[in-house]
Amino acid sequence: MTFEQLGIIDPILKALQREGYTHPTPIQEQAIPLLLNGKDLLGCAQTGTGKTAAFAVPIIQHLYQSKTRQKGSRPVRALIVAPTRELAIQIYESFTSYGQFTGLRSVVIYGGVKQGKQTQALQKGADILVATPGRLLDLIGQGFIDLSSVTHSVLDEADHMLDMGFIHDIKRIVRLLPQKRQSLFFSATMSKEIEALSKNILGQPARITIQPEQATAEKVDQALYYVSKPDKRKLLLHLLEEESMDSLLVFSRTKHGANKIVKILERAGHKAAAIHGNKSQNARQKALGEFKDGDLNVLVATDIAARGIDVDELSYVINYDLPNVPETYVHRIGRTGRAKASGIAISFCDTEERAYLKDIQKLIDQRIPVVSDHPYPDNGSRPETVPSNNPPRGGRKKQRNQRNGRNRRRS
């Protein structure tokens, strides 16, 4: 299947070619024809599947071909709502890139920064508006945005929106949209709440599910290291020495933990930075930019900040802490093994995290291969070796003496 066969028009084909896309990903193959036909869509897919192009391309095509635009005026005709600034910027960049030969204008707005530049951009007109919910409502309230001409709306990462407490904002935004429009709704997971919200928003949608297991199993090489909590920092430094990790994203469950990991890495001479909710938007963008440019080789992130981060060629992800929500594991490792690259996802698991591991393995329906031959093994964390809650620890010293990190063996 090629993009031409999906019925995409020349100016967009040219942009996709320039991006280096040769073939559509599965979600693009399924979604693009439906969306070009005007259907509403309920998409169950995570970031990393190519879902942004799956919705951006048909929207750009509709707007380009539509006769509704009058010369001189540029009312917002497509509205994309995303939970985080990073994701909003990324979606905006995708629209700008796929639409570069169409003359359409995109604008992105998000909170945490002064509004001046954003309102100036809006005043020049926007065919496509990408927004986070809070700033969107704020600027609507101030009269900078009118949604009455919207013909296409997208709610991206709806599950994440709910996690972040945006449900009422979303409902308010939806009430401001014209009834007659094409409506798209994406979520990586489908809970009862998500289904209920989607019913509120969509008419009779087509449904597309791209299983996260496919993304994890096929593209990402996963590895599990049992290690005690205090040894995690040493194991991280050891792995950085052993493997040539050009670009590594480390996940920490907490902001404080992320800062601590950065300090450990910097002390060991690595170029690292943290991105999380307590960092200013500028600091986050700067760190992400430096990471993308290769000036930083390690980025340490919390889940909220990292979701949607799009770094081509990200070679490694390390779960320094295992996430307590199993779907988050799938999101995290989806950061690597993106549409173009294959990747490696390494997870550290200490005794307290065993229950999380069990849930993760149940969700992905596979056992993550264990690397037991490393300098900091913690048999206390290996459920199959020592089932008791108070594992004898005497063996560890001996094992350390038998260090042989180079002969990594997966069992």
**Interacting residues with ligand AMP (CB under 6 A):** 21, 24-25, 28, 47-53, 310, 312, 338-340
* Nearer residue to ligand AMP within complex by CB, 135 or 307: 307
From the CB of 48, what's the least distance to ligand AMP, in Å? Answer: 5
* Nearer residue to ligand AMP within complex by CB, 28 or 351: 28
Q: Is the alpha carbon torsion for 225, 228, 229, 231 positive or negative?
A: negative
From the CB of 330, what's the least distance to ligand AMP, in Å? Answer: 13
Residues near 269 by Cβ (< 8 Å), separated by ≥ 6?
A: none
* Nearer residue to ligand AMP within complex by CB, 25 or 102: 25
* Nearer residue to ligand AMP within complex by CB, 50 or 257: 50
From the CB of 102, what's the least distance to ligand AMP, in Å? Answer: 18
- As to burial, measured by CB atoms within 10 angstroms (0-12 exposed, 13-18 middle, 19+ buried), residue 396 is middle
From the CB of 339, what's the least distance to ligand AMP, in Å? Answer: 3
CA distance 118 to 230: 45
From the CB of 56, what's the least distance to ligand AMP, in Å? Answer: 8
* Nearer residue to ligand AMP within complex by CB, 25 or 302: 25
Report helix, strand or coil for 187: strand
Where residue 157 falls (left for φ over 0; alpha for ψ -120 to 50; beta otherwise) is left
- Both tokens assigned to 277: 């909710």
Q: Provide the CB-side half-sphere exposure for 215 (13 A, CA).
A: 30
What Cα–Cα distance (Å) separates residue 242 from each residue in 245, 265, 341, 405? 9, 15, 21, 8
Tally Cβ neighbours within 10 Å of residue 220: 21
- DSSP element (H, E) containing 356: helix 354-364
* Nearer residue to ligand AMP within complex by CB, 21 or 348: 21
From the CB of 45, what's the least distance to ligand AMP, in Å? Answer: 8
